[in-house]
A and B are shown apart, each in its own frame.
Chain A
Amino acid sequence: MKELIAVRGVRKVFEDVAGTTGGAVEAIRMADFQVGRGEFVSLLGPSGCGKSTLLDIVGGLEKPSSGEVIVGGERVTDPHPKVAMVFQLMSVFPWRTAVQNVEFGLELQKVAEAVRRKKAMEMIQLVGLSGFEEKYPSQLSGGMNQRLAIARALVLDPDILLMDEPFGALDEQTRFLMGLELLRIWEATRQTTLFVTHSITEAIQLSDRVLVMSARPSSIREDIPIPLPRPRTIESLTSDAAVQIERRIWDILKVEAGKGLTPNAR
């Protein structure tokens, strides 16, 4: 499989500009991985391990201190038009209605109003929000707002979807159902997806591969394939095979996550 995203020797150090952290902080020591076209890959790691920073670097929002990211053969220096991002809860614009939120990116690209309205309506239907087009985010549930955030990214017809803990603020059951919903949408579009999460269950539920990260300064500890059949179902996700993968990931993470619990963790 030809890779669409290549992360090569990325290191990220935050300089102590404000003088608050007592010296430079090495967030990412070494990240090296590829994502193939049409693949769904999760970045899984303990809190504060720099996985969101890594995603920002892939998205062109942050510059690596060294190393490089190649997307579709081009070196990433700025946000790439063929890459769309989805962030945590409350990234939808509260002053825009559902359909206006989805239209946001098209508006930036100066797409004609009739065209962008049509595209946005189609996308709202795809994510299952028909009938809520004119509602404001304050009138929708958390899960519905995240569907909106996904629709806002997908309407740009990206080759790559970067998702930063999009369901992190939802309760466990809603989160699981949103995962299944995301997979349903993904089966239809098959965008190459890089998904940041700290939930082992979520990573297994969604991914073709899980990249397990170490505690800060982080690196990719393990590249674990998830050979569960698609579409994923509750049966396959609770099968012995799934449980064994979960145990294997736990074996790595209990050490890494534990580092964050000791008093002198840096």
Chain B
Amino acid sequence: MGRVRGEKNLVWTFQFLVLALAFVFFLGLSRAFSFFPHPLKVLEAAGELFASGEIYPHLLVTLYETLTGLAISIVLGIWIGSVLGVSRTLAEIFEPMILAAYAVPKIIFLPLLLMIFGVGLDSKIANAALHAIFPIIFNTVVGIREVNEIHVKLARSMNATLGQIFRKVYFPSMVLPVFAGMRIGLGFCFLGSLLAELFEAKTGLGYLVADFYNSGEIARMLAVILFVFLLTMSINAGMKTLENRLSRWRAP
């Protein structure tokens, strides 16, 4: 226990050092480039954005787009992944195509999404879902294939119904890989909605970055970037904690 605590302290010390170095680095940048604001100015701008309440509507829009996109990609991704996980034939037909689609930068489809869904929030949701669906599909496939046949056999020997086999064997076996897919998917969702907002929007954190950039308010732009950075990090950390709680039963 003592060793673990010692290691944790060491990790925290280094993390603090890295943060301090980042501050110094940005200080250097502000000296080197005239357009780059002093890091304290950025923090100050961030404080103002929250104090004035200016950032909240944009934050809400981005969160709405991201979470709706995530919900859609979870439903579709688990459904598609389950079908591919169960059927060897369908997997053989579609897996290469999906893998290829995974490699394509999804942002290339944004103009198409804008034409289909309009310049409002829907196109951002669609872009977010498009970005997130692939890791969810793949992790669902992995989850289904990792279900232990002996567990299914045992449940069958006890006359379990199909529903019971799904709820009590498939679901708990798959919950970890699928959840990991959702965690990765959430990151991609943020990417999708922010990219779309940067490109064509009237609200959202991505729009705010583009807007501040266009009006030359670099300190405020960096403040939003810093906020997005911290937001994604804390959401990811929260998901990771939840994931660890779900995997309590795993060997330590």
Contact = CB atoms under 8 A, between A and B. Distances in A.
B52 interface: no
B158 interface: yes
A191 B119 CA distance: 71
B158 A104 contact: yes
B249 interface: yes
A59 B155 contact: no
Given A94-B250, A95-B249, A79 B168 contact: no
A79 B154 contact: no
B160 interface: yes
B251 interface: yes
A19 B160 CA distance: 31
A130 B160 CA distance: 28
Report the interface size class on chain A.
20 to 34
Nearest to B157: A85
Given A93-B151, A104-B168, A108-B168, A79 B249 contact: no
A84 B158 contact: yes
A136 interface: yes
Contacts of A78: 159
B148 A79 contact: no
Interface class of chain B by DSSP: helix
A23 interface: no
Contacts of B158: 79, 84, 104-105, 108, 156
Contacts of B160: 108
A156 to B, nearest CB: 7
Interface residues of B, number: 21
A57 to B, nearest CB: 12
Interface in B138-178: 148, 150-151, 153-160, 164, 168-169, 172-173
A88 interface: yes
A198 B250 CA distance: 31
A258 interface: no
A125 interface: no
B159 A81 contact: yes
Interface in B202-223: none
A105 B249 CA distance: 20
B150 A90 contact: yes
B244 to A, nearest CB: 14
A87 B153 contact: yes
A47 interface: no
A11 B150 CA distance: 23
Contacts of B251: 138-139
Contact of A138 (B159, B168, B250): B250
A95 B168 CA distance: 10
Interface in A115-161: 136-139, 156
Interface string B167-191: 0110011000000000000000000
Contacts of B148: 90-91
6 contacts: A85-B154, A87-B150, A95-B249, A105-B158, A108-B155, A108-B168
Interface of B: 148, 150-151, 153-160, 164, 168-169, 172-173, 248-252
Given A87-B154, A94-B249, A138-B249, 16 more contacts: A60-B157, A81-B159, A83-B157, A84-B157, A85-B153, A87-B153, A88-B150, A91-B148, A95-B172, A104-B168, A108-B168, A136-B248, A137-B249, A138-B252, A139-B251, A156-B158
